[in-house]
C-alpha cells in the first residue's frame, strides 16, 4: 500500500483528516458547517453519511470508480485489457454549481489514485 494511502487510512480512523470540524478545533477555520448541506462537516459525514451527496449520486460515482480500478487491475493481472467506457461526467463544485456538464472525458490516462502522488 502506498505511504499516502496508509496515512489517509490512519488519519481517517483517528478522525485527524482536515474536515471543517477539525479545522475549527485546530484554530484554522471559524465555521464547522459544510457548504453543500449546512451540516457539521466531520470525517464520518464526508465519507458516508451526507444525505445531499447521497441524493446527488456522489457515493455511487465513487463506488463505480473503485470498481473500475479493481476491474483494470484484475484484467492486467490476467493479461487482458478492458478499456473503460467514455462517459459524460458531471461534477458538482463545492458551492453546488455544476461544472463540465456533458463533456466526455476518457478515463484511461488518469492516475490510479490521487493519493499516490
- Write out the chain in H/E/C secondary structure: CCHHHHHHHHHHHCCCCCCHHHHHHCCCCCCCECCCCCCECCHHHHHHCCHHHHHCCHHHHHHHHHHHHHHHHHHHHHCCCCCCCCEEEEEECCCCCEEEEEEEECCCCCCCCHHHC
Q: Does pLDDT of 99 surpass 60?
A: no
Question: Confidence class of residue 95 from pLDDT cuts 50, 70 and 90?
Answer: low
Q: Domain spans of the chain?
A: 3-83
> How much is the pTM?
0.42
Mean pLDDT of 107-111: 46
Rounded to an integer, the average pLDDT of 70-77 is: 86
Amino acid at each position: 500500500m502506498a505511504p499516502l494511502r496508509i496515512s489517509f487510512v490512519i488519519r481517517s480512523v483517528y478522525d485527524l483528516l482536515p474536515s471543517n470540524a477539525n479545522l475549527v478545533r485546530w484554530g484554522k477555520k471559524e465555521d464547522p458547517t459544510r457548504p453543500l448541506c449546512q451540516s457539521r462537516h466531520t470525517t464520518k459525514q464526508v465519507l458516508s453519511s451526507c444525505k445531499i451527496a447521497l441524493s446527488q449520486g456522489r457515493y455511487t460515482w465513487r463506488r463505480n470508480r473503485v470498481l473500475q480500478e479493481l476491474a483494470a487491475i484484475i484484467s492486467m493481472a490476467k493479461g487482458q485489457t478492458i478499456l473503460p467506457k467514455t462517459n459524460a461526467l458531471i461534477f458538482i463544485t463545492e458551492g453546488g454549481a455544476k461544472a463540465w456538464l456533458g463533456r466526455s472525458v476518457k478515463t484511461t490516462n488518469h492516475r490510479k489514485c490521487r493519493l499516490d502522488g
